[in-house]
Structures are given as C-alpha cells and as structure tokens.
Structure 1
Amino acid sequence: MSNHDRPGPGHHHRHDSVQPDWEVLGPDLERGAELYTPLYEQAAAWLRAAATGAAGPGTGGVRRVLDIGSGPGVVSCLLARAFPDAEVVAVDATEALLERARDRAGRLALGDRVHTQLAEVPAGLDALGGADLIWSSRALHHVGDQRAAVAALAGHLRPGGLLAIAEGGLAPRFLPRDPGIGRPGLQSRLDAAGEEWFTEMRAALPDAADETEDWPAFLADAGLRAPCTRSFLLDLPAPLSADARAHLVATVTRAREMYGDRLDEDDRSTLARLTDPEDAAGLVRRPDAFFLSAQTVHTARAQ
C-alpha cells in the first residue's frame, strides 16, 4: 500500500503478476510522492482546519495520527508538520518502504514523532490503537471489501476523531491530445486499458465486493457523521523539472509493462518512443510534457 499506487501513469500499483521489488521501486515511489507535495500540503491544511475547528468534542487536540498505507512516508512527514503536537504512525505492509519512511523522518528532524508500524489492512489493524486523525491514500482499493475496511478504520477513531480517505479523482494528464507521434488520443486509450486492468485486479481480490464505490456512504455506514468531500489539484505546467520527467518516464514504463498488451501495436510503439531517453519525442526531451492531476478526499467524524 502506498500513497501513489493508483493504476495509470503517475502511480505505481502493487497488484500485478510479479510481486514488485520495493527496494528497486522505492526511490521512484518516494520521488512520485514528493511530486505531489503541493497537492498534499493543500489537503493537510484542509484537514488541520477541519480537525481543529469547532465541529465537536475532541476536535481541538490532534495528538495521534495514523497514515494507513504510508509507503515511503512522504505524507506521514507532511502530517507531522501540519499537526506539530501529534505522534504520526506510518503504517504499511512493506518493510522496505517503512525503512524509507524512518530515514526520511530522521533527515527532516521528525524522527521523535514519526514512527512506523508493519501491518496489513484490514487484518493487521488491531495493534494500532486509537487516533484523532486517520489518513489513508490510495490504499483501500487494495482491499476486497472496501466498506468493511472503512468500518475497521473508523473503529480506531477516538471520540470526535476524523477519518480521511483519499480515493478517486482524475487520472494524470501529461501530453497533448495529439503528441505528434502515433495516433491522437493515446492518453485516453491508456486510461481505458488501465481501468480494465484495475477492474480485473479488484475482482480477483479476496472477499471482493461488487458494489458502488460510494465513499461517503461507506463512511456513514461506519457510524461516522458530518461527511465532506473535496478535491485537490496538482498542476505542473511545461516545461517539467528533471525529477518530474524521470518519475513520469518510470511510471509510464510501469504502465506499459502492466497493461500495455491491451493496446495495439501502434500505441505500444508510441509508448516505447515516449520512454526512450534518446528520442526527441520522448518525455525526457519534449518541451510540452506537463503533469495535471486531481485527488479526491472524503472525510467524516466519529461521534
């Protein structure tokens, strides 16, 4: 589980035929999360205002935060800065990513407040204890029964505590409709292939539930109140930085490996050119590559 693993360019995803090597993918996963820092800083400021507002008992003192599916801890550290009086626990099922989270917290002088916990969701939640804020980004879609997973997280909220689920939004855009190579509309076809792959992945999960992905309804069914939904935009115009280009190449390469076989030969050839660092039309060199994405966050509060 990680903060950046939705299918499609811009996010790694965990479920494929070969278990990912997180020692190898960890650096790019961290770089991708750093790319999204402006978006997550907006979300963290919004959560701080919601958690410390006059919305009910217990909302003024956030002392413990759980980041469920923390990956390399980029957002864990952002939450630690947004809530300077809180302990933040980065929770993930991959020790290699938690090691990166500990290293990052140490570099940022947050090691005394950012801790890690190795745990699966939802089976490994019992040992986590309570929290005033629980954040989970792009992690619960790895769980077959998402409604039950939301309820399990809600059960760890302290009175008045806030649960924030970042799921959904808009898939990243990074090229013009006609990129000048191959057929126009590649981005839409890549999105469609990714959605097909994602649907099949979801269906194959243990205890997969075939139901409408209505996150506010899941929160309400968990006994939480005052649901709220807001989306945050990441807008990185051309020309992209070298780090942004490197992340984009890595994630498009990953998408090509995972579901490129669902595209025709012409589109696969275009993807090969886009990920070739020596190709003038590739993402490393072209001046028009950009990065535009949106992330939706759903919140609700414990009684």
Structure 2
Amino acid sequence: MKIKNTQITKYASQQKKDRRLGIILVIPVLFVIFAITGIPFVRAVYWSFTNKVVGSKPSFVGVANYIRIFHDKIYWKSFFNTLVYTCGCIAAKFLLGLLWAVLLNQDLKGKGFFRTALLIPWALPGMVAAMTWRWMYDGTYGIINSLLLHSGIISTPIAWLSDPKLTLLSTMIVNVWRGVPFFMFSILGVLQTLDKQMYEAAIIDGAGIFQQFFHITIPNIANVLMVTTLLSTIWTFNDFENVWLVTGGGPLYSSSTIATYTYDMAFIQNYLGRALSIAVSVIPILLILMFVFQKIQKKIDA
C-alpha cells in the first residue's frame, strides 16, 4: 500500500510539474497573440467611444456613437441585410453541401472529377471569384443574361447589380457558390469514416433510405455539421470581400451589410469612431451565437 501511495504521489507531482511547464511555454505565445490581435482590438473598442476621424486625434464622447447608430436607418437596414445574407447563405450551403457529400459518397462513375470540379470555387481567390461573377451579372455583356435571353426565359436583361430588389440575392448566390465546397468536403470526410456494417444491419432490419439517413447518418455526423455550420456562420456574417466587390453595398445600400457599412463609414465618410461602434455593436450577437452552438454541441455529445 505504501508503494502504491508513493507512486500516486509521484504521479500527481509530475502532473503538476507538467502543467507548470505547459503554462510557462504557452505564456510567450499568449503575449504574441495579444500583441497582434489583443492590443488592436482594445484600441478599436476605445475608439468606438470617441469622435475619431481619420487623420486626427480622438476625443472621448461616451456612448454618443452607439446612440447615433441605433437611430441610423442605414445601420438597421445593413443589420437586417446581414441577417438575411447569413441565414440564407448558411441554409443553402448546408443543404447543398450535405446533398453533394451524400451523392459523392456513393459508388458513382466520375465522382473523382466532380470532387475536383466542386473544389474550384473554394480554391479560387475571393477577388477573382467576385470579379468573375460581377462580369457574369453585367446587364450588357454578362453571360447569365445572354443565356437567359437566347433560351427565351426572359425578354429583357435582368438588372442583377442595379435593381435594389436583386442585389442582395446576387451577392448571396456568389457566397453560396464559394461556400458549398467547404460543407461538402467537411461532411464527405466524416461520411467516409462511418462503419458500413451499421447500414447493412439497418437494411436487414428493414430500414429504408430515409430511415438510414435520419437515424444513422445524421446522428453520426452531427458534431461535424455543428462545427462546420458555426465556422461558416461566423465567416458569412463577417463577409466583406464578396459583397463589396460584387455590389459595393449598393445601390442605395440595398445590399449593404454590417461589414460593408463599417468600411463605408470609416474609409469613405472618414468617421472611424462611428465605424468602430458599428463593428463592436455586433460582437455580442456573435458571442451569443457561439454560446448557443456550444450548448447544442454538449447536448449532442451527451
């Protein structure tokens, strides 16, 4: 018994030493991370409470910027557009990515070609993709209108980039096109690790395709679905490059999002303090979103 107690004591002591060593090794990394991201973030939050203008010194104004943006119609329009943009894109990417993953997990001819082809949108630089779609949407030279006209589906060109009712949808289509491969390959990766014996047993028990999908496939890939959806939601909510390059947030802020309106306020109107208050105002939403996903993740794991 004494020997066992001594071994347990030595083991506990070694664990404490390992923890201390781990903390010591992590501290320099934490300093670097704080210097790169922490200091600019703290400064941005402080400037959101000032009347900072590009090229001048800031002076503290309290919550005046936040009061102003909450009475700003364009802010609320951008906020609503952001929610529509995020929810619509995530729903489409989730469903299409899941569909393609399930199809490419089957024994189909040419699936290697489709896997490569479907990876291209994700691999393309954002600027290249956005500018290509901007050309395709063009009312005069765009290939989309040209195909629709020649096929007789429409009689006049569609104003994809100038009609306030269509501009947000136009940017969403580009985001979905680029984001589906991320969902598809994430889900496909976990589908290929599932034990085929589960499906064989389900077939013997008389389970149909849909029963297998909802009672075997979905529960076994739920964790990957949650993580993929969370990451894509954060990226989509903060998407600036796609919206700005395709429509610039216009016309008349019809496709403006929080990200593009922040840029517009900071670097076009030069109100950096107000721009930062716009950016900071949505941080609680992202924190709540991550908290909700973590709660759901714990229920899945349980």
Same fold (TM over 0.5): no
Structure with higher Rg: it is 2
Higher RCO (Cα < 8 Å, 6 or more apart): 2
Q: Which protein has the bigger strand share?
A: 1
